[in-house]
Amino acid sequence: MTLLAVIRHGPTEWNAARKLQGMSDIPLSAEGRALVATWKLPEEFRPWRFLSSPLERAQETAKLLGAQTLMVEPLLREMSFGEWEGFTVKELAARGHPDEFQALADKGLDMLPPGGESPRMVIERLQTLLKRLAQEGHPTVAVCHKGVIRALLSLATGWPMLGRQPVKLDWSSLHCFRLDKDGTPTLDRINVSLREIADIAP
| Residues noted as catalytic | 9, 78
- Residue 83: phi and psi, rounded to 5, are -70, -10
* Maximum separation of any 2 CA atoms in the chain, in Å: 61
Q: Is 120 exposed, middle or buried, given 0-12, 13-18 or 19+ CB atoms closer than 10 A?
A: middle
Among residues 32, 69, 31, 27, the alpha carbon closest in space to that of 52 is found at: 69
Supply the DSSP symbol for 110. G
- Cα-to-chain-centroid distance, residue 199: 30
Dist CA 189 CA 167 (whole Å): 11
